[in-house]
Amino acid sequence: MKVLVTGAAGFIGSHLCRRLAETRRCEVLGVDNLSDYYDVALKRARLAELAPLESFRFVQLDFAEPEKYSALHTHYRPDYVAHLGAQAGVRHSIEHPAAYVHSNITGFLNVLEACRARPPKHLVFASSSSVYGAGARVPFSEEQAADRPVSFYGATKRANELMAHSYAHLHGLNVTGARFFTVYGAWGRPDMTPIIFAKAICERGPLKLFNEGKNLRDFTHVDDIVDGLMKLLLYPPPPEQRPTPPYRIFNLGHHRPVEMRLFVEMLESVLGQKARIELLPPQPGDMVETCADLTRVQAAIGYAPRTPLEVGLRGFAKWFREYYRQ
């Protein structure tokens, strides 16, 4: 099976590429533009981990460039496409919205157009819990309206879902979206909470807790996310069981939200150091609580997260100390 993965040098993308390549049933082509949104050295280090895998190849390319991406898709002829590439970051989207339009809107349109021209068996794309926004009821279920995102990043991800639905309706494209909930683990992004907090703890700097640390997050280990992606991507429903149009959306989370103050205490424990906590008011664009309703995805693919937060944080702390030499 030939699988094309965008965002292959990213956090989740690199983990998915490894899992696919290690199955030995998949030939994996990873695509990434290696943007400098965060340290490119980390992205190259992830790729270096993948390089020894015989079933993995990498191409540096921006999927927001239509001619280049279309030519790659046509030449490679993937059986499956996992579109995980995106401009990420809730707070960054407030100051740099154009970057999100370029990657998340124009880029996703290019991926859809390439798939329309030569349809794969299945397209799975990354969405986010940020789509739920204002008025969402906890736990977040896929049946909720998700029409009032509180960040521009969330708005672009909701736009992706609507774009995908229209292509499924108009062109019969078999497509599934996965809404990720606060993913953490080894090789994580440095703009995300676990690494920001771990650096603050180890370097004795101030650890900023917005909303005085009262926000709750549904931390989900990257291994559990990849488990769900593998099942969604490679085992779509047969044609006779597909919805009309052939479009689905699922939460991939942990369903056990943790208050940020408790998260810091757990991180202090695995790192063996105390934090210098600075309590701050709420941050614009932040959600007070996230929690995934997993009813739909459990019924569809038997998804069940297996990594307790305390176990996942121990593995994260080990990688963090080794990579950042802390």
Closest among 115, 97, 87 to 174, alpha carbons compared = 115
Whole-number Å distance between alpha carbons of 51 and 48: 5
Active-site annotation holder among 69, 80, 132, 153: 153
Cis before 245? omega within 30: yes
Please state, as a whole number, how many other Cβ atoms lie within 10 Å of the Cβ of residue 176: 22
38 noted as active-site residue: no
Question: Tokens standing for 225?
Answer: 């996310």
Closest among 49, 53, 54, 64 to 7, alpha carbons compared = 64
Q: What are the DSSP E strand ranges found in 158-226?
A: 175-180, 183-184, 206-209, 216-217, 220-221
Whole-number Å distance between alpha carbons of 221 and 187: 12
Q: Which residue has the tokens 């683990």?
A: 185
Helix H or strand E segment including 259: strand 258-259
Question: Tokens standing for 321?
Answer: 């100390």
> CA separation (Å) from 66 to 31, 78, 97?
14, 17, 20
Contact between 80 and 120 (Cβ < 8 Å): yes
Whole-number Å distance between alpha carbons of 265 and 269: 6
Whole-number Å distance between alpha carbons of 282 and 170: 42
Closest among 114, 4, 29 to 68, alpha carbons compared = 114
Whole-number Å distance between alpha carbons of 7 and 107: 12
Contact between 62 and 68 (Cβ < 8 Å): yes
Catalytic residues: 153
